[in-house]
Amino acid sequence: MATETPPPSKAGPQLPSTEEFVAVQESAEFGELRHSYRSFAFPLTVAFIAWYLVYVLLSNYAGGFMGTKVFGNVNVALVLGLAQFLTTFLIAWWYARHAAAELDPKADVIKSRMEGGA
């Protein structure tokens, strides 16, 4: 009678248990990481949404102001519209710098501990 051999196991990192995930989530270190993220992302998100809504409201209700020529055929609406793109890219760049300097090092410490490297 032939016996079945188990498939070869992959030698990879051991996955943390549910209890370990919960313990990390409740730790002060994870709370600090979450606070660092939220204190940066939430205010910027609110500010950008407000800036966008101001642009939309001006476009709808202040046509005369938005149609004001700045120079040549360029008016206030075009300048503010292009500023929307500029602020989007600036916020993305700023977040990438913040994440690399503040969030990633904290997350790497937590990750290495969870993977058993610390």
Over residues 27-72, the pLDDT tens digits come to 999 999 999 999 999 999 999 999 999 999 999 999 999 999 999 9
Note the pTM of the prediction, 2 decimals.
0.75
State the pLDDT at residue 15: 78
Mean pLDDT computed over 14-28: 85
Q: Where along the chain do its domains lie?
A: 28-114
Over residues 72-111, the pLDDT tens digits come to 999 999 999 999 999 999 999 999 999 999 999 999 999 8
Both tokens assigned to 51: 């800036």
**Cβ-contact 66, 80 below 8 angstroms:** yes
Helix intervals (H) in the chain: 18-25, 28-61, 63-66, 76-98, 104-114
